[in-house]
Amino acid sequence: MTQSDKRRSSRPSFEDAGRKLEEAARRLEQETEKFIRYLNDEVVPEVREHSSRGLRRASKELEKFADYLEETKKTRR
């Protein structure tokens, strides 16, 4: 086995990379849908009734979502 063959075999294949990207995109879509449902079901009614408290709650959830996005970005590297 040549040095070039060894390097090629140790690299992830394009298929592996494609599968990982598809999985990451699928998970991001699921999390986004979950977050939108949360906003519509929990936050919007709160904002309508108690504006400042609802906005603070939404802010905390947005922070969690941002942390999740940053964490997934780190793990893909």
Q: What is the pLDDT of residues 20-66, one digit of tens each?
A: 889 988 999 999 999 999 999 988 888 788 788 778 888 998 999 89
Residue 2 DSSP code: -
Structural domain range at position 60:
31-77
Distance CA 67, CA 63 (A): 6
pLDDT exceeds cutoff 90 at 72: no
Please report whether residue 55 resides in a domain.
Answer: yes
Please report whether residue 2 resides in a domain.
Answer: no
Instruction: Domain count for the chain, please give it.
Output: 1
Please report whether residue 56 resides in a domain.
Answer: yes
Residue the block writes with tokens 């947005």: 62
Please report whether residue 40 resides in a domain.
Answer: yes
